[in-house]
Structure 1
Amino acid sequence: MSSITWIFDSNIQLDELKLRTKSQSYAYGRRLYTFQIGADAYWLKFHLANTNQTLYAAFQHELSFYQSFSKNKISFLIDHQIIDFEQQGTVLRDLGEGNGLVLWDSVPFFTDLSTFKTLETIKQMIQQALNSLGELHQMGWIHGDLKVEHFRLYKNTCRLIDFEQSLQLHHQTHNLNATPHYMAPELFHGKNKSVQSDLYALGIILYEWLTQMKLRANSYHDWAVLHCQQLQLQVPKQLEPFLPLLKGLTQKHSEQRLCSVLDAQVLLNDINLLQK
């Protein structure tokens, strides 16, 4: 549920309205702005009609996702507001048409690991990320395009953003719009997205966070080879207690991978036993 009520005040003044869209996305019609109202910062996201229809449809899908939760208090979402540009003051009305999505500002959830002094703190961070993803799954949805920047810290808890590729559980789709960097092996073979493909993506995110190293590949084919054949997990010795979880999340064959967030939480809780 949104807590943003100021947006319907046509007299409000927006400070430091700044375009943040990447050049290629801008050419396709995507618009992403940051702005301030007083001391509070926000993001505004929308897509121009009559441009790239695939991206336009994806954004409309994201708006529908947020609207489906409009009457509920959902702890994995950042406070937000869907706005109608025609009902806004001049500054916003001149930006676009139709609807836009306003999100309260947040910061990256997975930051420099050197700021975390104990394994227990790291475990708590992973637990928060699992809690957010688990709630999404329990609500009957798959994210479909998890990447590290989609985990955000907001009001001292882990939240999720960017639901353009989200889909309901058991929804059959051959739409493989996902980021190869985090794609589960079965997706490269044309299989449907699932809870387990979300879990695989989280496993890659956690692996890169714990090792503070990015996986590298030069092409879609190279990413496919890496995920389907070459991925071998190695972590610093002090972080080896997390290996069972990482391996469970990133098994190449989905039938051998962890089946749910709950399974991942069980493995994570076992880390306490390993530290005794």
Structure 2
Amino acid sequence: MQVVNILPFEVNQLIDMTKPKSYAYGRRLYRFKQHEKHYWLKIQLRDTHTLFEHSYCQELMFYQNMQNLAYLLPCQQLDVSHCVEFKASYTALILPHATPWLSIATQLSIKQIAKKILAMLLSIEHFYHLGYLHADLKHEHFVMWQGQLKLLDFEQLQSIDNPPAQLTATPRYMAPELFHGQPKTLYTELYALGIILYEWLAGQRLTAKSYLDWAYLHCQQLDLKLDAPYAVFLPVLQALTHKQTTAREQDYGMLKPYLQRLIDENCPILFYI
């Protein structure tokens, strides 16, 4: 990927969207507009926070090596070293603005919801077959651009052949085995997807007050329920969130046929996994 050094914006036109915690660690996130289109500018300052810098550089490298990947937004890398405001920064990332993939579920038919879920499942599979785990799946990391599903935020990306020594994860989406020190796998990705989909279809977020409470929730207390008409997706959620990895693995192959039947026939209930 070519790195350009001509700023496509005026610095004073940038809208700062950086979260306070990220700001303290040297991260900067801005929005800007060019030719009636909206973009995001992502920057990491040097010599601020080792972990944030490493994660940012990992994402930079991934975009550089995988720029033509189907599930990636078109990305431009920008040299901002000549810009006074960002002279102590790594190369910046510019990405087009995209809308949330998980739009309001009540506005969608069963068939439309099944299509969205199947697309998400295929995107996770796609990265896995390339030898990667996204490793930080959240609902906001699935977006729609030009009518297609794209994934965002590859700072925690990991190779399936070379998992990191230290686990970094968001407790809300952690599979039970992660609380026991096991490495991330395809099946921890599927578990995270199950939690994302449950919160979307149930219209409420899971809650816990501490890391220990999250551990109890995922390892012992998780009990997913969906009201009609979304109960048809409960078998999918149960397959994705089995407490035992072997059970997730066993039911994994049933997910795509089940969703495809919903798409093709749009029946209220077809069969249970």
**What is the distance in 2 between the residues matched to 1:54 and 1:11?**
29
Number of the residue aligned with 2:110: 119
**AA at the equivalent of 1:114:** T
Aligned match of 1:99: 91
- State the SS of the aligned residue for 1:77: coil
- 1:47 partnered with 2:16: no
> Is 1:241 the counterpart of 2:270 in the alignment?
no
Matched ranges for 1:182-221 at <5 A: 182-221=173-212
CA shift for structure 1 position 264: 2.8
CA-to-aligned-CA distance 1:26-74 (integer Å, 9 cap, x gap):
111111111111211111112111111111111111111112213xx21
For structure 1, the residue ranges without an aligned partner over 5 or more in a row are none
Asked if 1:254 corresponds to 2:249, the answer is no
Task: Tell me the residue number matched to 1:33.
Answer: 30
Q: CA deviation at 1:197?
A: 0.7
- Report if the CA contact (8 A) 2:133-2:186 is conserved: yes
- Count how many residue pairs are aligned between Structure 1 and Structure 2: 266
SS, match of residue 237 in structure 1: coil
Aligned partner of 1:85 among 69, 80, 84: 80
* Other-structure match for 1:109: 101
Contact residue 13 and residue 37 of structure 1 kept, 8 A = no
- Provide the alpha-carbon RMSD of the alignment: 2.3
Unaligned ranges ≥5, structure 2: none
- 2:66 pairs, out of 64, 69, 76, with 69
Secondary structure of the residue aligned to 1:165 is coil
The 2-side partners of 1:206 and 1:224 are apart by 19
Determine if the alignment matches structure 1 residue 17 to structure 2 residue 6.
no
Q: Contact conserved, 1:196 with 1:260, CA < 8 A, in 2?
A: no
Compared CA separation, residues 10 and 30, structure 1 to 2 (3 A): closer
Q: 2:71 is aligned with what amino acid? A: F
| CA distance in 1 between partners of 2:229 and 2:251 (Å) | 26
* TM-score, length basis structure 1: 0.88
3-state SS of paired residue (2:81): helix
What's the TM-score, normalizing by structure 2? Answer: 0.89
Q: Contact 2:100/2:144 (CA < 8 Å) preserved in 1?
A: yes
Deviations along 1:219-267, one digit per CA (max 9) or x if unpaired, are 1111111111100010012212211111110011111113697653133
Query: Once the two structures are aligned, what percentage of the paired residues are identical?
Result: 36
